[in-house]
Structure 1
Amino acid sequence: MRDLSKLIKAYDIRGVVGEEIDTDIVRKVGAAFARLVDTTVAIVHDMRPSSEPFAQAFAEGVTSQGHNVIDCGLGSTDLVYFAAGRLDVAGAVITASHNPARYNGIKLCRPGATPVGQDTGLGDIRAMLENGIPAHTGAPGTIAHRNLAHAYADYLRELVDLSGIRPLKVAVDAANGMGGHMVPIVFDGLPVEVVPMYFELDGTFPNHEANPLDSANLVDLQNKIREVGADVGLAFDGDADRCFVVDETGASVPPSAIVALIATRELAKAPGSAIVYNVITSRAVPEIVTEHGGTPARTRVGHTFMKALMAEQDAVFGGEHSGHYYFRDFWRADTGMLAALHVLAALGSTEKPLSALVAEYSRYVASGEINSEVANVPATLAEIEKRFDSAHTDRLDGLTVQLASGAWFNLRPSNTEPLLRLNVEAPDIQTMTKIRDEVLAIVRR
């Protein structure tokens, strides 16, 4: 039996095609998942060369256990959340998200788009793969084909009112990923002129990686915005569940500012509601939520923690600095496309340029995430905590230190590598730089 520790991650299944993941293991995962959820499974797949055969193999695994499959074909990850929520079925999407072309994987959810992570099903699936999946003795399940993309688009447009907005020119970089398939469907009929970039579906990613978190992958979009005079730029990752925003000058908009902007819009619809954010989101978010009558709720990084706290608090919205945006009206699942519609609605409802609009939600200077290889993660965290023992600290996720200057930083370990991830935020760039360099000097000593 192969080593599954490299394949089954904290939140999904992901590995190098032909080495760590192939049709045989995908078929077995499908069978194990069917036994876990004991219901019909909707399947979506992205544009990677291996995704369609993997989707077929996963469906074979599900039907081998006597359960039915709804094959939704090509789509974004949030399309499977829509299927799981609207149809009350389990869901699986074959994708490796923003990973390079040699990777593929599987994201899973239960009916109602409830996430499946290491402690909520992936551990059970791994145990079945290692110990053997019981054979099903009855009749196999069936496979039905159903295109839900237009129903998904209609639902998103019900959630955001774009009527009466001013015409907008929108440059969209799909990075040859699923945004190129979904944007034309979702934006059809809206008062926007789309300037498409890399809409051709190609899982080899011939233009640049489908990871907008890396600023190098935004350069083409930034240049296009300036070239055509676009009002806004949108960049999607490979499975189009994350959306990054660029303003009319070509400057990248911090995702925390988008979290704050959407939070105010959702609070206008549901006054007094909770808004969930994580430990590396800008402190501007809880400040702005409080100012607009909402209740900020802080949690660990990761979609399972976000969704769990949203359910506990009945939060109307949640956002992460990584570009994931979660909506109560979307079964608490994350959808970059719905976030993009909120940005367009907000921008189209004012004569301000996007740079001026988001300036209202950007109050501090951030370092961005800085990774360092560390031999002894616990010892390093303990040393940092001792060095800043006069400050307020907490261990909700790694180590967060809040300083009297109004600055803060978070150091948290990677789930899979001997890395510490540092995020620093301060009222000004000088303070941020001083704290960043002081912490890194200890971490990298």
Structure 2
Amino acid sequence: MSINPAIFRAYDIRGTYPLNLNNETAKLIGQAIGSEALNRQQSTICVGYDGRLSSPVLSDALIAGLLQSGVSVIDLGMVPTPVLYFATHALDTGSGVMITGSHNPADYNGCKIMLGGHTLSGDEITGLYHRITSGDLAEGTGTLTQQDIKVLYHDRVLKNHILQRSLKVVVDCGNGIPGPWITPLLKAFGCQVIPLYCDVDGHFPNHHPDPEKAENLVDLITEVQQSGADIGLALDGDGDRLVVVDNQGKVITPDQLICLFAQDLLQRHPGSKIVYDVKCSITLPRLIDQLGGQSDMWCCGHSMIKNRMQQTKAMFGGEFSGHLFFAEQWYGFDDGLYAAVRLLELLGRTDLTVAELFHPFAPLPSTPMIHIPVTDESKFEIIEQFREFDFAPANVYSIDGLRVEYPDGWFGLRPSNTTPMLTLRVEALTSSALVRISALLEEKLKSIIPDLQIPELAFTNYTTSIYREDTNATDT
């Protein structure tokens, strides 16, 4: 049968159900993953699925394909993505597939894939497509077992972590899969928990499970303010991202979160390496350097950061999209539930409010994350043309699109790996520098494509980050 190559993305497999991702395609994908696993000497694969309406049937189909390839499967049932990652360690398989649409609309679904402790990305993902179209698929008979891993996961998360004072916590899971997992976890940790949309409902009746968008945080902010809670936590649809609201109802930016965790780590482990993506604030590498750490800027994408951390033996990593990766006392994968426990532990050690805790890492003047619609073909051509400009005296980094750093600010421009978009961000030490760099970026963009439509107010002088005015962001 034909299969749409467009569902094989940079970080994962993702499509709409049942348009281009259905039971038949899922079975073929399972057989291709199993074939690749056997080629890498992996014989057992854990499988989990999120709370979307299509996830149970897609999981069954994928498992059927895996078994047909000859690998054995441990079926975890409905779990958050980080629990699937955890199972690959706890059950010593090293390999797992998560059926999840993450934070995307309700009709989306897909797969995140780990083989032998390595998260597949780029050519490794498209390689599965080529296996299917060429018929390079193993045949065999695998065995299937079921495993309930909830108690094991909760116990391991709480191991070595203590909450030193009681905290009132509002948790909004947007009816995604993390709800039934994080609520008992935080109660066991000693928190007073106010759950908000923590029951799983694949229709997402209250708001979309994407906390990166401002409109999806309105109810959480209101509940924090009205309940007098110490903190608000929001997780995305599959639980691998964390967004924080302080006691005043203000959103803590991902940059601030990464800075706090980096500071804590470097105070205890001087000289450690920390990986961050090209969209993060300039304050982060400066903080890491000041504290004697090693800063390592890398490509966007959860699989890119995880693999980079493994290669460089980094102890912590963070993405501007809200993915947080702990290799110290954890396993180096992105886990919003575990990150929440680490944050609450840090807060509990102090007498500070959340607003006070993050005050030293207050955001610099910046634009929101701006998304400009273009074609899939032109987005790469635009980046190549941008490389030809002379940006002296700036330092230019081209590991993922372009990041151009001046002494008083920077801009980043890159092609989205998942949508026909350019994504860009500007940040500066002062408002005047922000205006100057934004004007330069806009001038260069329009010199390449004169009729390019930049969203209204995109370069307005913002003093906070992605959570103001940017209501059209989709993904990294």
Query: What CA deviation, in whole Å up to 9, does each residue of 1:148-199 have, x standing for no partner?
Result: 122112111125x224x21111111000001212112322322211111001
- For the 8 Å contact 1:88–1:111, the answer to whether it is kept is no
Alignment of 1:280-319 (within 5 A): 280-319=279-318
* Residue in 2 that maps onto 1:396: 399
Q: What's the secondary structure of 1:217's corresponding residue?
A: helix
Correspondence for 1:129: 132
1:41 to 2:45 alignment = yes
Q: Is the 8 A contact 2:119 2:307 kept in 1?
A: no
Q: Distance in 1 between matches of 2:298 and 2:15?
A: 28
- Looking at structure 2, the residues matched to 212 and 23 of structure 1 have their Cα atoms a distance apart, in angstroms, of 29
Whichever residue aligns with residue 103 of structure 1, its letter is: Y
1:268 matches 2:267: yes
Task: Give 1:200 shift.
Answer: 1.4
Shift, 1:409, TM fit: 0.7
Q: What RMSD over aligned residues (CA atoms) do the two structures have, in Å?
A: 1.9
* Aligned-partner residue type, residue 61 of structure 1: G
Deviation at residue 253 of structure 1 after TM alignment: 0.3
What is residue 5 of structure 2 aligned with on the other side? Answer: 5
How far did residue 403 of structure 1 move?
Answer: 1.6
- Cα 1:71–1:430 shift into 2, 3 Å: same
SS of match in other structure, 2:66? helix
User: For 1:25, what is the secondary structure of its paired residue?
Assistant: helix
Say whether the 8 Å CA contact 2:35–2:138 is kept in structure 1: no
Q: Indicate the residue corresponding to 1:168 in structure 2.
A: 167
Q: Is the 1:384–1:439 contact (alpha carbons within 8 Å) kept by the matching residues of 2?
A: no
Give the equivalent residue in structure 1 for 2:76.
72
Alignment check: 8 A CA contact 1:23 1:57 kept: yes
Which structure 2 segments of 5+ residues have no match?
451-476
Judged with a 3 Å threshold, the aligned counterparts in structure 2 of structure 1 residues 23 and 250 are, in CA distance, closer, same or farther, namely same
Q: Residue type matched to 2:355 in 1?
A: S
Question: Are the aligned partners of 1:149 and 1:185 in contact in 2 as well (CA < 8 Å)?
Answer: no
Once residues 220 and 25 of structure 2 are traced to their aligned partners in structure 1, the CA distance between those partners, rounded to angstroms, is 38
1:153 paired with 2:154, answer: yes
Counterpart for residue 409 of structure 1: 411
* Alpha-carbon separation, structure 1, partners of 2:264 and 2:382: 43
Amino acid aligned to 1:72: L
Match of 1:325 in 2: 324
Correspondence 1:91 to 2:122? no
Match of 2:371 in 1: 371
Question: What percentage of aligned pairs have identical amino acids?
Answer: 34
- The equivalent of 1:432 in structure 2 is 434
Deviation at 1:305, TM superposition (A): 2.4
Q: Structure 2 CA distance, aligned partners of 1:286 and 1:252?
A: 22
- The one-letter code matched in structure 2 to 1:54 is L
Query: Contact conserved, 1:284 with 1:362, CA < 8 A, in 2?
Result: no
Decide which of 56, 62, 68 is 1:58's aligned counterpart. 62
Cα distance in 1, alignment partners of residues 355 and 50 from structure 2: 33
Q: Distance in 2 between matches of 1:349 and 1:308?
A: 32
2:146 is matched by which residue type in structure 1? H
| Residue aligning to 2:343 | 343
1:28 maps to 28
| Ranges in structure 1 where 5+ consecutive residues have no aligned partner | none
Deviations 1:85-129 (A, max 9, x none): 2222210111010000011111110133x201123x322211121
Aligned AA for 2:193? V
Q: TM-score, normalised by structure 1?
A: 0.93
CA distance in structure 2 between the partners assigned to 1:385 and 1:258 by the alignment: 35
Aligned equivalents of 2:318 and 2:364: distance in 1?
17
The CA distance in 2 between the partners of 1:186 and 1:111, in whole Å, is: 28
Partners of 2:36 and 2:352 in 1: CA distance: 51
User: In structure 2, how many angstroms separate the alpha carbons of the residues matched to 1:170 and 1:154?
Assistant: 20
Q: CA deviation at 1:392?
A: 2.2
Q: Which moved more, 1:362-371 or 1:41-50?
A: 362-371
Q: Secondary structure of 1:315's match?
A: coil
Taking the aligned partners of 1:433 and 1:340, their CA distance within structure 2 comes to 35
Given that residues 41 and 70 in structure 1 are in contact (C-alpha distance below 8 angstroms), is that contact kept between their aligned partners in structure 2?
yes
The secondary structure found in structure 2 opposite 1:333 is coil
Do the aligned partners of residues 47 and 417 (structure 1) sit closer, same or farther apart at CA in structure 2, a change above 3 Å counting? closer
SS in 2 for 1:366: coil
Shift of 1:430: 4.0
State the distance in 2 between where 1:233 and 1:430 align. 33
Contact preservation (8 Å) 2:9, 2:126: no
Is the 1:77–1:240 contact (alpha carbons within 8 Å) kept by the matching residues of 2? yes
SS class of match (1:318): strand
Residue 277 of structure 2 is matched in structure 1 by: 278
Q: Secondary structure at the match of 2:193?
A: strand
Alpha-carbon deviation of 1:385? Answer: 5.8
Q: Aligned pair 1:214/2:213, yes or no?
A: yes
Report how many aligned residue pairs link the two structures.
Answer: 438
CA pair 44-292 structure 1, distance change in 2 beyond 3 A: same
Segment drifting more, 246-255 vs 299-308: 299-308
C-alpha distance in 2 between matches for 1:37 and 1:411: 36
The change in CA–CA distance for 1:92 and 1:380 in structure 2 (over 3 A counts) is closer
Structure 1 residue identity aligned to 2:352: K
C-alpha contact (below 8 Å) 1:16/1:104 kept by paired residues: yes
Q: Kindly state the Cα deviation for residue 374 of structure 1 after the two structures are TM-superposed.
A: 4.1
Length-normalised TM-score, structure 2: 0.88
